[in-house]
Structure 1
Amino acid sequence: MDVLRINAGAVLAQTRVLLRRAPAPSLLALAVLAMLDTLTDVAGLGSSGGITIVVGLLSLIFQLMITRALLAALQLRGPDGGSSFWMILGLGILSGLAILLGFVLLVVPGIFLTVRWALSVPILVAEEVGPSDAMRRSWALTEGNFGPVLASLVIVYAPGIALLVAATLLLPSEWSEWLPVLVVLNLVMEATFIVGWHLQVALFAASHGETRERAMADIFA
């Protein structure tokens, strides 16, 4: 199977365009998830497994909603609207456990799996396949594109992660419980994830040869 070469610059340009395509669900996701994170921190429920599961499930619902909207805007979505929540939940469990294990095993395997499965969610929604098929298809589409996909992921995720790490290490401990600080940090964290969902769709579009043309047309329109 011929695999198109992904251009990181074009993918990032498309990601910026996509951020303007579905602002309502993205802003709703940001507000709800950051609010729940902040309430969890304020109430001291961070160690509660039940709260973590609820926030995780809501995050998957928002990711599915946003991915559907973006794929529809790019005319890359399946005719019946894409996969269900249960499919994306199954994908999240399968890939999440494998990636977590990879990070436990000296980090590098986790990074490798994250890159190779970066297209799994858009594939699941657009091509209406199961979780394991989406993971295999993502693996195939990222063959020969590891560098550009990794670069795109680093550029999108690194600033937010760096800010969170810096705040954790540098801010006085009493500041970490100050409500405005909690709000800002949770907004940064959730915004990073949401931009990452847009990036995944842009990567999927790139694998179909859609990214450069659409991004440039939208940017200079």
Structure 2
Amino acid sequence: MQTERDQLLLTVRNLARFHREHEKFYSESPFHDVIRLQRNSRALQALAERWLVVEPSGEKYLSPFAGAPDLNDDRATETLGILFMEGGGEPAEITNLKRDLRALAEANRATGQWLTSAMSTAWDMLESLLSYPELADLLAERHRIVSNDWQCASMADLIARNLDRAVAILGRVDFTPAALRADLTAHRVVPRYLFSASEMLTFAADLAARSAVPTHENERRWRIFHERVDQIVGAADPPSPTKSH
């Protein structure tokens, strides 16, 4: 019959095994968001740089699908497909960009909240390991895993906040060609909004990249801790009964 001590060790071993594998995924996945956010940032920066200096176009075109030569920037078109057309409103790519950023913000917020709750529970549970002399030299290592993951939770929340604010900044801009050209002939406020939004996306990308570092650092700690718990559980297992002849 399993004792409470046995059940705890089995639980600790289970967590060490499966959460180690789980973190292998999360040590890689932030870099997908980094690339995505950097591309978004570069596209917005390219538009801002162009709109800071370009003069409004006075050319007339017969087709409403003609590209707006003053508003388009090849870098933004090549990177995200952003195309301003003479008879169009806000490009669909910009609408999609704001939608995707909101979704990414919500995903990071949910991750941060779940991870904060999980690490709070884990921290309290780890206190029970203090009564295991066999784990005395690895207590700091196991607590560091939790501390690192808690740090990742905080960064996920910061990523969400920066993405939300970047979308709010973009929401201050009327991306219709008529409104943009009006800004080009006035105070050119729109490029400054775009520079700010771009910088916030870059910072969110930097945070995502940094969040992978503590997770990478956890791998060795998970490995040596799991090996030790395996040894303790194995030593506690009763020998298999031998058959009598």
State if a TM-score over 0.5 links the two structures.
no
Q: Answer with 1 or 2: which has the greater Rg.
A: 2
Higher relative contact order (CA 8 A, sep 6+): 1
Indicate the TM-score class for this superposition, using the shorter chain for normalisation.
0.3 to 0.5
TM-score, with structure 2 as normaliser: 0.31
The alignment's TM-score, normalised by the length of structure 1, stands at 0.33
